[in-house]
Structure 1
Amino acid sequence: MAAFGLTADDYEEVIIEVWPDIWPAFLVFQSASTQWRTGMAGVTGLDYNVLPWLMRIHDVQDEATALSDIRIMERTALKIMHKE
């Protein structure tokens, strides 16, 4: 932040609750934060090739449900990123 002339005071603290049943999928989504696919039109979605590995790391038991939850988070993130 300092490299851009910013301090912690420049940011408002926002607390976001994550429901316990979504927590495993949230951890995977958060871990995939550097795995966005991009092209000429910008960000297009997550690289799903890394998801099985991340699900193993986070010991996700119900991968089908986690994938569904991750896709909802991905779709919401894309809407925010592409908002004009």
Structure 2
Amino acid sequence: MGLTADDFDDVIIDVWPDVWPAFDVFQSASTQWRVGMSGATGLDYNCLPWLMRTQGIDDEATALHDIRVMERTALKIMHKGA
């Protein structure tokens, strides 16, 4: 995706315990970005139901909401300066 070491901050971010399961799914989907000519456009949601099952997610609607917040934030970071 064209990211370099300069694209990453040395900031440690705490993940709230109630969001941790969704964060695990988000990390598991780290290789599942849809990419076009302008770079990443979003996660491939087709893999999320399977990942949620493997992570034991009970409340898929809440997890999806949390993942979409993380996805939007990641896209903003990836496309900064573009």
TM-score class, shorter: 0.7 to 0.9
How many angstroms apart in 1 are the aligned matches of 2:11 and 2:76? 20
Residue 25 of structure 2: aligned partner: 28
2:34 equivalent among 20, 23, 37:
37
**Corresponding residue number in structure 2 for 1:57:** 54
Shift of 1:14: 4.0
Query: Which protein shows a greater Rg?
Result: 1
Identity among equivalent positions (%) equals 77
Structure with the bigger RCO (C-alpha within 8 Å, sep 6+) is: 2
Of 54, 69, 73, the residue aligned with 2:70 is: 73
TM-score, reference length from structure 2: 0.84
Shift of 1:15: 2.8
Number of residue pairs matched by the alignment: 74
Q: TM-score, normalised by structure 1?
A: 0.82
| Unaligned stretches of 5+ residues in structure 2 | 1-8
Q: Distance in 2 between matches of 1:16 and 1:56?
A: 26
Other-structure match for 1:47: 44
Q: Which residue of 2 aligns with 1:4?
A: none
Could you list the per-position Cα deviations for residues 37-56 of structure 1 after superposition, in whole angstroms to 9, with x for gaps in the alignment? 00111110000000000000
Structure 1 spans left out of the alignment, 5+ residues: 1-11
Residue in 2 aligned with 1:3? none
The CA RMSD measured in Å over matched residues stands at: 1.6
Query: Distance between the aligned counterparts of 2:10 and 2:37, measured in 1?
Result: 34
